[in-house]
Amino acid sequence: MTTQISSRDFNQDTSGAKKAAESGPVYITDRGRPAHVLLTFDAYEGLIGRNRVLDLLGEPPGVEDIEFSTPRYNDLADPARLD
């Protein structure tokens, strides 16, 4: 089941929109035209594939094979002179 609400109604009853999203997508309109869609996270994962979100947030494959070294500086900077 899909639900359609205006941006104003969404701002005034966000919890109601979240409850409606449990039954299906909620289309949020702006000036009568669909502007956004509210989905549960499970429904979103169903659209893009399970674990895809975690894959995008994680490190890319092979990143552990990259060597990274930073130069070490033993000289300390002189303190600022404020006179």
> What's the confidence (pLDDT) of residue 63?
62
Residue 20 lies in a domain: yes
Domains in the chain, number: 1
What is the pLDDT averaged over residues 11-39? 96
Say whether pLDDT at 81 is over 90. no
Residue 73 lies in a domain: no
The distance of Cα 2 from the centroid of its chain, to the nearest Å, equals 23
> What's the confidence (pLDDT) of residue 56?
63
Say whether pLDDT at 67 is over 90. no
Domain with 47, as residue range(s), is 3-59
At position 3, the amino acid (one-letter code) is T
Angle at 5 between CA 51 and CA 28, to 5 degrees: 45
Question: What is the sign, positive or negative, of the torsion defined by CA atoms of 15, 16, 20, 25?
Answer: negative
The CATH number that applies at residue 45 is 3.40.1620.10
What is the pLDDT averaged over residues 61-71? 68
Between 46 and 61, the higher pLDDT residue: 46
Residue 44 lies in a domain: yes
pLDDT band of residue 27 (cuts 50, 70, 90) is very high
Instruction: For residue 10, give the nearest of 45, 35, 46, 40 by alpha carbon.
Output: 35
Quote the tokens at residue 61: 């494959």
